């Protein structure tokens, strides 16, 4: 039985959410009408998971989240509005320690809830199994830790994993899902401005969120970060974020490697698809020049393509269970023999810089 606290200032939304989880079964639930009640209920009810609205009276969701994570850390799934402002607030929530998010239904709640209830239940069940990040582990403190680890890794160049050849011409692919935005921010911020490889990121995310996510990353990364919402030449110095609501593919245009969005392929469960990105890289780039990183997330998206990249001479990194919010996608890669190396999130940027000669 999962103990679930539902927090929303709308009585109708709370009733709809209660109904969804009652029909699913396996939940013991309580409700809170605002952030103040959420903090109190987290202390007294001690839920396994909290679904948390952002815009609420008396105490907003972000402030409540910061108090919850300071007093009694718990797995939190944000229920966010499908707006640019909602997207930015959601990323702040993930930075504060939220595990995942679901886009709040618009229009007639009872009708639109049907479209998201399966995703909502799946994410809440996944959050109940998620590994929480350490208390007080802010982006700033973890970024400093990444820098320290990069120095340690450089000093330990005799390690077999760091003795592999430096690839001056290369391509970096990154796949991520649940817990990915926060981890991506930590890793990408530690790739220097002279990082020699283009970076392509497939992060499972709704269409309305990826532009805001790319803009947020662009503010903290030395490299230029862009949403791949239209065909773009693949060039060093750039990070390309796959557009939500689409898949990201690589092709050739006028003799140049190009990244472009494509309609979601119904044969694949998750989008932007990590698997399709990996397959298109195998078709358009030399596999030996491809490095692929699999980060935290539920499911198995990308594990087959990344395993094939390793088989054909490329290199792969799987995030370790210890640092994953959800050890699903990296575990699949490891189990299939597709991981060249397994590293905690705090060590991945340092390893990539070493392989790239930076």
Rounded CA separation 98/1 (Å): 21
| pLDDT score of 208 | 84
Position 1 scores a pLDDT of 95
Domain positions in the chain: 2-129, 139-355
SS3 189: coil
Fold agreement (2-129, 139-355): yes
Confidence class for position 153, pLDDT limits 50, 70, 90? very low
User: Could you give the dihedral angle defined by the CA atoms of residues 184, 188, 189 and 194, in that order, rounded to the nearest 10 degrees?
Assistant: 180
**Tens-place pLDDT, residues 286-327:** 999 999 999 999 999 999 999 999 999 999 999 999 999 999
pLDDT over 70, % of the chain: 87
pLDDT at 168: 52
- Quote the CA–CA distance of 100 and 102 in Å, as a whole number: 7
Residue ranges of E strands in the chain: 2-7, 27-32, 49-53, 75-80, 100-103, 171-176, 199-203, 224-228, 232-233, 238-242, 246-253, 256-263, 290-294, 315-319, 341-343
CATH no. of 139-355? 3.40.50.180
Sign of CA dihedral 298, 245, 265, 303: negative
**For tokens 């990121």, what's the residue?**
201
Known catalytic residue at 8 = no
Q: Which of 204, 271, 320, 323 is catalytic?
A: 204
Length of the chain: 358
204 is catalytic: yes
41-98: per-residue pLDDT in tens?
999 999 999 999 998 988 999 999 999 999 999 999 999 876 667 788 888 999 899 9
Within 10 Å of residue 291's Cβ, how many Cβ atoms?
22
Per-residue pLDDT averaged across 22-40, rounded? 96
For residue 230, indicate whether it is catalytic. Answer: no
Looking at residue 206, its pLDDT comes to 87
Q: Tens of pLDDT along 103-145? A: 876 654 555 677 788 999 999 999 999 887 544 344 444 445 4
Q: How confident is the model at residue 159, as a pLDDT? A: 44
DSSP string, 74-89: -EEEEEE-SSHHHHHH
Give me the chain's average pLDDT, please. 88
Which of 194, 198, 168, 167 has the alpha carbon at shortest distance from 284?
Answer: 198
Residue 146 — pLDDT band, cuts 50, 70, 90?
very low
User: How is domain 2-129 classified at the CATH fold level?
Assistant: Rossmann fold (3.40.50)
Give the tens place of pLDDT for each residue, 229-274: 999 999 999 999 999 999 999 999 988 999 999 999 999 999 999 9
Q: Which of 301, 303, 320, 340 is catalytic?
A: 301
Annotated catalytic residue, options 80, 81, 153, 177: 177
């Amino acid at each position: 039985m999962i103990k679930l606290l539902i927090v929303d200032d709308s009585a109708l939304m709370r009733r709809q959410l209660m109904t969804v989880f009652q029909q699913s079964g396996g939940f013991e639930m309580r409700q809170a009408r605002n952030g103040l009640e959420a903090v109190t209920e987290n202390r007294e009810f001690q839920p396994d998971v909290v679904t948390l609205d952002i815009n609420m009276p008396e105490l907003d969701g972000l402030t409540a989240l910061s108090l919850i994570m300071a007093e009694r850390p718990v797995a939190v799934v944000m229920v966010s509005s499908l707006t640019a402002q909602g997207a930015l607030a959601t990323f702040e929530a993930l930075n504060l320690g939220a595990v995942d998010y679901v886009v709040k239904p618009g229009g007639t709640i009872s009708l639109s809830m049907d479209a998201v209830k399966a995703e909502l239940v799946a994410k809440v069940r996944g959050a109940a199994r998620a590994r929480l990040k350490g208390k007080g582990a802010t982006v700033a403190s973890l970024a400093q830790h990444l820098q320290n680890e990069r120095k340690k890794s450089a000093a330990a160049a005799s390690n077999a994993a760091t003795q592999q050849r430096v690839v001056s011409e290369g391509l970096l692919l990154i796949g991520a899902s649940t817990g990915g935005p926060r981890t991506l921010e930590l890793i990408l911020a530690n790739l220097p401005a002279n990082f020699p490889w283009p970076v392509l990121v497939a992060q499972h995310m709704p269409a309305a969120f990826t532009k805001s996510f790319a803009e947020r990353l662009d503010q903290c990364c030395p490299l230029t970060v862009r949403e791949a919402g239209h065909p773009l030449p693949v060039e060093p110095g750039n990070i390309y974020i796959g557009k939500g609501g689409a898949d990201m593919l690589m092709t050739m245009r006028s003799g140049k490697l190009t990244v472009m969005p494509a309609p979601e392929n119904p044969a694949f469960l998750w989008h932007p698809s990590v698997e399709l990105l990996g397959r298109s890289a195998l078709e358009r780039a030399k596999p030996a020049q491809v490095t692929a990183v699999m980060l935290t997330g539920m499911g198995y998206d990308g594990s087959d393509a990344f395993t094939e990249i390793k088989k054909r001479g490329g290199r792969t990194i799987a995030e370790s269970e210890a640092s994953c919010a959800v050890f699903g996608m990296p575990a699949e890669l490891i189990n299939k023999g597709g991981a060249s190396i397994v590293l905690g999130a705090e060590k991945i940027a340092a390893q990539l810089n070493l392989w790239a000669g930076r």
